């Protein structure tokens, strides 16, 4: 029974991942103004079509700024053939307002996301270019997970300044008398002495305390996660977007030894940013290899927890990525993503992590390509 339950949960997770990637639901609402006393069938059909288009627009608005910008370029094509992109439509509410001569419809639609993405790519300038005109692009994405965190104790410095002042007064006085008398063959002497001593003193003391506390941020080191299968996700997404994708391993020998994947991985093992020397070497090496675009990024895998909806293991992945145009002396950032978090679920931590990484790779590459496409559509 436990095996069957685990198998069913695995199927649910796999289906949910696939469905999320290819089919999305969205809602839309629209109103039309009519001329007669009541809305006709044609008026209702127009309101329904306008609501469907609003739902598509809402989907692109949620997908991001670049996706929403691309939607404007293909709006008419969606209107011309809505059945290709809208799988089904459910009417949620209808309202006829004769006083304003306005009919309003609210719908929920299931979108064929795969066809919508293909429509975007087909309309882009990069996709319409011939094989010899497509821009070469290479990419290096590093999947990593925190291996160790080094924390530092606070450094405390204390200082005490003391000031003391004082004085002492001393007074001594001595008086006396001496005399003698002679009579009857005798000498008689007498003497008297008195002394006085006074001592007065005062002391004042002040103390001033101060110091400082220095805190140092923790330092994290990462372990790299093998992700050869993710390279296929990135490669296929960028290729469908119209780029001529080049494997980074083939570019290294053509870069004069300046572009090294190992240097990129080493920098990302100890921090979130590439060193200046590494970036400069990448740019000059890519120019030598005559590859104008390079995509660089990290995918940070979080700790596993339990998904409250399915009870499966859930893992989150945070993506940061950029595409650089290295054709100029100072490279331009053509597209940027992140930090964005994607989650994956599965019956085991390994499967959940794999699903999360695949979704993160696909979504990040698609967003990067969409931003470049949007620029070329302008």
pLDDT of res. 367? 87
Give me the residues of the chain with pLDDT under 70, please. Answer: 1-21, 63-70, 121-133, 148-149, 164, 166-203, 205, 207, 217-220, 228, 376-378
pLDDT of res. 343? 92
pLDDT of res. 16? 43
Q: In Å, what is the CA distance from 61 to each residue of 24, 58, 70?
A: 13, 5, 10
6 within a domain of the structure (yes/no): no
321 within a domain of the structure (yes/no): yes
With 0.75 as the threshold, say if the pTM is over it: no
Transcribe 254-291 into DSSP letters. GGTT---HHHHHHHHHH-SS--HHHHHHHHHHHHHHT-
pLDDT of res. 182? 66
77 and 181 part of one domain: no
Question: 79-105 as b/e, with b when 16 or more CB fall inside 10 Å?
Answer: eeeeeebbeebeeeeeebeeeebbbbb
138 and 200 part of one domain: no
- Per residue in 288-318, pLDDT tens? 999 999 999 999 999 899 998 889 999 999 9
266 and 333 part of one domain: yes
* Number of domains the chain is built from: 3
CB 253 within 8 A of CB 230: no
pLDDT of res. 159? 74
164 and 49 part of one domain: no
58 and 103 part of one domain: yes
Distance separating alpha carbons of residues 91 and 97, to the nearest angstrom: 17
Question: For the chain, how many residues are written?
Answer: 378
pLDDT of res. 127? 46
291 and 318 part of one domain: yes
- Per residue in 55-79, pLDDT tens? 888 887 776 655 666 677 777 888 8
pLDDT of res. 240? 80
pLDDT of res. 131? 44
CB 53 within 8 A of CB 84: no
Work out the number of other CB atoms within 10 angstroms of the CB of residue 164. 9
pLDDT of res. 212? 78
pLDDT of res. 214? 75
Full domain range(s) for residue 341:
131-151+221-377
Nearest to 93 by CA among 106, 104, 109, 110: 106
């Amino acid at each position: 029974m436990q095996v069957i339950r685990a198998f069913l949960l695995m199927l649910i997770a796999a289906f949910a991942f696939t469905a999320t990637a290819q089919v999305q639901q969205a809602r839309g609402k629209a109103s039309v103004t009519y001329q007669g006393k009541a809305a006709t069938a044609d008026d209702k059909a127009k309101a329904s079509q306008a609501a469907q288009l609003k739902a598509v627009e809402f989907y692109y608005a949620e997908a991001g700024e670049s996706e929403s910008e691309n939607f404007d370029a293909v709006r008419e094509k969606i209107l011309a053939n809505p059945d290709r992109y809208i799988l089904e439509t459910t009417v949620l509410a209808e309202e006829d307002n004769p006083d304003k001569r306005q009919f309003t419809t609210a719908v929920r639609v299931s979108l064929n996301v795969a066809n919508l993405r293909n429509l975007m790519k087909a309309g882009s300038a990069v996709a319409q270019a011939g094989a010899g005109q497509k821009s070469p692009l290479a990419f290096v994405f590093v999947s990593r997970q925190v291996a160790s965190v080094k924390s530092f104790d606070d450094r405390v410095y204390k200082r005490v300044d003391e000031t003391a002042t004082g004085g002492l007064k001393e007074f001594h006085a001595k008086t006396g008398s001496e005399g003698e008398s002679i009579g009857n063959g005798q000498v008689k002497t007498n003497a008297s002495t008195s002394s006085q001593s006074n001592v007065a003193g005062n002391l004042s003391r002040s103390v001033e305390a101060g110091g400082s506390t220095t805190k140092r941020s923790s330092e994290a080191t990462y372990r790299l996660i093998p992700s050869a299968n993710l390279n296929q996700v990135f490669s296929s997404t960028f290729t469908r977007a119209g780029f001529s994708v080049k494997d980074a391993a083939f570019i290294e020998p053509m870069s004069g030894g300046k572009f090294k994947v190992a240097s990129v991985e080493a920098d990302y093992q100890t921090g979130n940013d590439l060193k200046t020397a590494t970036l400069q070497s990448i740019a000059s090496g890519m120019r030598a290899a005559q590859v104008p675009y390079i995509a660089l990024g990290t995918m940070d895998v979080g700790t596993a927890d339990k998904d409250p909806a399915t009870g499966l293991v859930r893992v989150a992945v945070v993506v940061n990525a950029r595409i650089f145009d290295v054709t100029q002396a100072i490279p331009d950032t053509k597209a940027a993503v992140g930090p964005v978090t994607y989650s994956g679920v599965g019956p085991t931590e390994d499967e959940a992590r794999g699903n999360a990484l695949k979704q993160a790779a696909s979504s990040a590459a698609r967003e990067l390509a969409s931003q470049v496409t949007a620029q070329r559509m302008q």
